Chains A and B, each alone.
Chain A
């Protein structure tokens, strides 16, 4: 698995306490843990592990696990092998 993908997945698992197997289809508010508070915790976590500072529009657009990967590619974080 790509190293960035491992880090990305860990951020979700750590933030929401869910197994990695649930991530691929995960969307905002699909689980009780991903509410507005959980969202900001996840954003803070991702910023810390990837050492980036996300723009407000990107935080608002970050509506799913897959959309998040698309957004992070703007910050030169690649999820390709």
Chain B
């Protein structure tokens, strides 16, 4: 984070993140959101300490961050691209699809994942975009996401 050139001063700590999204411990997987351009892009930080609940189970002899948690970390950063907009703050989100998932290296206790997320499209409660995670400036994981805001979708439901 220190060597990066930032486009924005806007950032969110844990209380701020919790105001924007409804994920909570033990399923909140981003520690800080920074360089926020609401409706466009954000960056996130997740520090993985051995105290994380999953490390003793995955795996006892060789702890590493499970893939589904890497995906959650990516998407929880991605949703901040639109949940930082006043009109969407605090709304629940649902996955619609995950594509082009890549895991490029193991993430182990003591490592910090830096996530870059970008919103490509947001209309009528459907958000499309991607997030990329880096450890020590090396690509670690990435995915493309389509995420829905059910509160907004409900207003477009056909009458049937």
Contact B158 A28 (CB under 8 A): yes
Chain B binding site: helix, strand, loop or mixed by DSSP? mixed
Contact A63 B124 (CB under 8 A): no
Q: A37-B153, A41-B126 are in contact. Are A60 and B96 (CB under 8 A)?
A: no
Find residues 128-160 in chain B having any chain A CB closer than 8 Å to their own CB.
146, 148, 150, 153-154, 156-160
Measured as residues with beta carbon below 8 angstroms from the partner, the interface class of chain B is 10 to 19
Least Cβ–Cβ distance between A32 and chain B, in angstroms? 14
Contact A60 B158 (CB under 8 A): yes
Contact A29 B96 (CB under 8 A): no
Complex CA gap A44/B159 in Å reads 19
**Does any Cβ of B come within 8 Å of A69's Cβ?**
no
**Does any Cβ of A come within 8 Å of B123's Cβ?**
yes
Contact A63 B126 (CB under 8 A): no
B147 (CB) vs chain A CBs: closest residue:
A37
Least Cβ–Cβ distance between A57 and chain B, in angstroms? 10
Complex CA gap A38/B153 in Å reads 10
Complex CA gap A29/B156 in Å reads 14
**Does any Cβ of B come within 8 Å of A12's Cβ?**
no
Would you list the 9 A-B pairs with minimal beta carbon distance, nearest first? Answer: A63-B158, A36-B153, A28-B158, A37-B148, A40-B126, A36-B157, A59-B156, A28-B160, A63-B160
Residues of A within 8 A of B (CB): 27-29, 36-37, 39-41, 43-44, 56, 59-63
Residues of B within 8 A of A (CB): 94, 96, 123-126, 146, 148, 150, 153-154, 156-160
